[in-house]
Structure 1
Amino acid sequence: MDSPDDQRKPGLVQRRRQKIADEIARNRRGEYRVPTWVLAVALGVFLAAWIGLIVFS
């Protein structure tokens, strides 16, 4: 018979660790994804260059 502790959902720390472990496993298999912050920085640089081109031309 399962105790109440066995039926509990994994905590935040366990879920986060599993998510990180899954991401590392995906990366080792070659399934790379570009992080959101990299896309946000690229968009910011593009917009700044575009606005700079408009303002300074």
Structure 2
Amino acid sequence: MTSPDRSPEDPPERTSEQVRQGWVNRRREKIVDEIARNRRGEYSVPTWVLVVALVLLVGGWIAVVVFS
């Protein structure tokens, strides 16, 4: 039986357990896909690593210019 404010063709409401399980499944698929890409050699350096390397490079260059 449907509630008065819902039509029969509306999808059933999902419980919090179903929502969490869906999130877990999507997360697991993302991880599996990433591992498969890495095994094929399609890995990339995370952006935060590139930012840290750039900051260290620029900071070192500034230190050489200022302290020499």
Rg comparison, structure with higher value: 2
Residue 17 (1) aligns with residue 28 (2):
yes
Task: Point out where structure 2 has 5 or more consecutive residues left out of the alignment.
Answer: 1-10
Give the number of the structure whose residues are more often helix, by fraction.
Answer: 1
Report the aligned-residue RMSD: 2.3
Aligned length: 52
TM-score (norm 2): 0.58
Aligned equivalent of 2:6: none
TM-score (norm 1): 0.66
Per-residue CA deviations over 1:24-46 (Å, capped at 9, x if unaligned) read 00011111211122212211211
- Structure with larger RCO (C-alpha < 8 A, sep 6+): 1
- The alignment-based identity, stated in percent, is 62
Moved segments of 4+, more than 6 Å: none
